[in-house]
Structure 1
Amino acid sequence: MNNSTIDNVNLTVNPKKMKKNKEEKITVGSVISKIVLLFFMFYTLLPIVWLFISSLKTNAELIAKPFGLPKIPQFQNYINAFQVSGLGTLFVNSVIVSLCATVLNIMIASMASYVIARFEFKFKEGIFVAITAGILVPICSLMVPYFMVIKTLGLYDSKAALILTYSAVSLPISTFIIRGFMNTIPRELEEAGVIDGCNFYQRFYKIIFPLSRSGIVTAATFQFLYCWNEFIYAMLLTSSQSNRTMQVGIRYFSNQFTTDYTSMYAAIIISIIPSMIGYVLLQEQIISGLTNGAVKG
């Protein structure tokens, strides 16, 4: 075999080897990525699965075999969760506070974002920085100021105290998210609205607000989840069961001498169901909102 024949053979063989090596690399990379994803899925779901299984045990079974399965599922624990702590009233309180605080927060944040994003005025960027700087402030550091303000207004131990506090605490992050989306809306749409006779409020409610839906849904979801899971201010600003939320009610299963762990776990499972359902229903909107904000914001 002469040299030219050998070269021709190499030319025909080498590309196949290169393609095969590339496919092997892709396969190995995909396998590794799937293993990593499975690990994080297991790491995330394991506590929830363990919590659910534990909520179906007796306290004796939980202490004796914390990682074993229950001999007989104790659904009575879920009934106890409602009877012992009055979970029904606390659940309704959480729904009212979370929904009202979310609506109030989104309305204020969207109006502030509209002015900052669409109008030019002195110190505009400074005002935006001052608002969003609240993201860096630890929530615990504001406990005394919020308590004094609520106490002075005569709103202590009321749902209004929690609604106003939750709305104010999350304003920086909501404004930051919504303003990023409003910046991407073409100004020509507003100009067309002006030509059609839209005033300031009509331009906001009929043009800008609907077009910022992805950012608004993302901010509203974060706000609702924060309100639903918040414990510190719910404990600080309320004292009666008629105004407290679910997260505070969970501690009712523990007293000075004993703790009803299984009923408490059942209450925790009940408390996380609404947030999980909300995220599942709005998952596509949240992901698209975050990715659009990352690219365009």
Structure 2
Amino acid sequence: MVKTAKKNKIHEQLTPKTVVIKIAKWFLILFFGIYTLFPLVWLFVTSLKTNAEYFDNPFSLPAVIQFQNYVNAFSQANLGRMIINSITVSVIATFINIMAAAMASYAISRFQFKGKEAIFAMFSAGVMVPLNALMVPYFTIFSRAGLLDSLNSLRILYAAIGLPMSVFIVRGFMDSFPREIEEAAYVDGCGFYGRFLRIVLPLTKTGLVTAATFQFLTCWNEFVYANLLTSSPATKTIQIGIRYFTNQFTTDYVSMYAAIVIAIIPSIIGYMLFQEQIISGLTSGAVKG
């Protein structure tokens, strides 16, 4: 009986319809996989070529691997300092953003007061506002505050513009967090700050990590406001450094591509480290029950 059931199952799986579906499924997976990975592979291979090889045939392999392009990327554009600037800006802005989003989400989720949903709607509406439309107001504000050409301006700005998305993500996890756990902690004598710091934050860390990852990637890859609010080499970020390989007459493409590879490595590493939390966070926030 068991063998017959297995044969019937195999026979059902090998019907023409299922075969066509499987072929189509794997074709789509391979197509989108190649579509996604090919630009990255091409970028890395091109960063190991000479400019002459690049202009002769952009899709050829390098005759001799040119690791000197990466040395040039650091020496010509001072990428080391810019990487440190990007790391400090992204980490500090992400920390401020997540703490503010966690407190705002907790208040909106747990307390009952007039205008609660209106406040949340205002936060959510911020996701739809194009950031480039606010360049003049932001520039005026930081100019009058005396924060132009300062990394603090980027830290404050990035922490603020990421709040709508972070609050939108974290609030969903706060809503699904059981109130009974907080009530039990309250009965045991745990105060407000103790409940928030020792219970709520650790048990909603999946949502916090999800929001923090998106916030960090946004800060790391942001170009427009980094170019608008900073001017001296000491305050430039890695995204601005990529421009240094282009001038009025020539462009060192291979060194620029090497700088781009260096710039995207932290994003890839960050996603690889937290991909499980990101995926589980997005799927957990998508289903309520």
Aligned to 1:49: 41
The Cα shift of 1:18 comes to 11
Q: Does 1:150 align with 2:137?
A: no
Report the identity percentage: 58
Q: Is the 8 A contact 1:159 1:243 kept in 2?
A: yes
SS in 2 for 1:155: coil
Q: Does 1:105 align with 2:94?
A: no
The Cα shift of 1:32 comes to 1.5
The Cα shift of 1:149 comes to 1.0
Q: Structure 2: give runs of 5+ residues left out of the alignment.
A: 1-6
Q: Does 1:171 align with 2:171?
A: no
Change (3 A) 1:46 1:193: same
Counterpart code for 1:251? R
Which of 183, 188, 201 is 2:193 aligned to?
Answer: 201
SS in 1 for 2:176: coil
Counterpart code for 1:75? F
Aligned to 1:183: 175
Which of 219, 229, 232 is 1:237 aligned to?
Answer: 229
Aligned to 1:6: none
Report the TM-score when normalising by structure 2.
Answer: 0.95
Q: Does 1:134 align with 2:134?
A: no
SS in 1 for 2:99: helix
The alignment yields a C-alpha RMSD, in angstroms, of 1.8
Change (3 A) 1:24 1:116: same
Which of 109, 112, 116 is 1:120 aligned to?
Answer: 112
Alpha-carbon distance in structure 2 between the residues aligned to 1:135 and 1:37: 30
Q: Structure 1: give runs of 5+ residues left out of the alignment.
A: 1-14
Q: Is the 8 A contact 1:181 1:296 kept in 2?
A: no
The Cα shift of 1:134 comes to 0.3
Q: Does 1:36 align with 2:28?
A: yes
Alpha-carbon distance in structure 1 between the residues aligned to 2:139 and 2:105: 28
Aligned to 1:262: 254
Change (3 A) 1:52 1:21: closer
Counterpart code for 2:39? P
Alignment of 1:20-99 (within 5 A): 20=12, 23-99=15-91
Q: Is the 8 A contact 1:53 1:70 kept in 2?
A: yes
Q: Does 1:282 align with 2:274?
A: yes
Aligned to 2:263: 271
The Cα shift of 1:296 comes to 2.5
Alpha-carbon distance in structure 2 between the residues aligned to 1:197 and 1:168: 35
Alpha-carbon distance in structure 1 between the residues aligned to 2:92 and 2:281: 22
Alpha-carbon distance in structure 2 between the residues aligned to 1:20 and 1:160: 63
Aligned to 1:11: none
Change (3 A) 1:17 1:283: closer
Counterpart code for 2:112? E
Alignment size in residue pairs = 284
User: Which stretch of structure 1 is more off in the superposition, 141-150 or 91-100?
Assistant: 141-150
Q: Is the 8 A contact 1:174 1:219 kept in 2?
A: yes
> CA-to-partner distance for each residue in 1:11-56, whole Å, 9 max, x for gaps?
xxxx969953774433332221111011001000000111111101
User: Which stretch of structure 1 is more off in the superposition, 225-234 or 193-202?
Assistant: 193-202
SS in 1 for 2:248: coil
